[in-house]
Amino acid sequence: MISVVIPTYNRASLVSDAIESALAQTHPLVEIVVVDDGSTDGTLAVLSRYPNVKILHQRNQGQGAARQAGLALATGSFLATLDSDDIWLPDFLSDSLEALRKSGAGFAFSNWSTISPNGVEVSEGNLGALGYLAAESAEESGSWRILASRATRSIFTRHCPAPSSSFLVRRDLVTNGWMTGFRISDDWAFLLEIILDHGPSCAYQLEPLWTKRIDGTNICDRHADPVRLAEKEIHDLSLLLQQFGSKLDHSELTYLRRRLNSSRHDLAHFQALAPGSRRRAVKSALAACQESMTVQNAALLAKNLMRSVFGLRR
Query: Does the pLDDT value for residue 313 go beyond 50?
Result: no
DSSP per-residue string spanning 212-254: EE--S--TTSS-S-HHHHHHHHHHHHHHHHHHHGGGS-HHHHH
What pLDDT does residue 214 have?
A: 83
Residue 295 confidence class, pLDDT cut points 50, 70, 90: very low
Query: Does residue 217 or residue 113 have the better pLDDT?
Result: 113
**H-helix or E-strand spanning residue 8:** strand 2-8
Residue 206: how many other CB atoms lie within 10 Å? 16
pLDDT, one tens digit per residue, over 265-289 is 888 888 887 766 555 544 555 555 5
Average pLDDT value for the chain: 88
**H-helix or E-strand spanning residue 58:** strand 54-58
pTM comes to 0.86
Alpha-carbon separation of residue 116 from 10, 121, 198 (angstroms): 19, 6, 38
Contact 33, 3 (CB under 8 A): yes
What pLDDT does residue 271 have?
A: 81
Determine the distance from the C-alpha atom of residue 126 to the mean position of all C-alpha atoms in its chain, rounded to a whole number: 14
Torsions phi, psi for 6 (to 5 deg): -120, 105
What pLDDT does residue 119 have?
A: 75
CA pair distance 90, 206, nearest whole angstrom: 16
What pLDDT does residue 206 have?
A: 92
pLDDT, one tens digit per residue, over 76-130 is 999 999 999 999 999 999 999 999 999 999 999 999 999 987 777 877 768 877 8
CATH number of this structure's domain 2-213: 3.90.550.10
What pLDDT does residue 301 have?
A: 56
pLDDT, one tens digit per residue, over 159-178 is 999 999 999 999 999 999 99
Residue 303: how many other CB atoms lie within 10 Å? 13
Taking the domains of the chain in order of start, what are their residue ranges? 2-213, 226-310
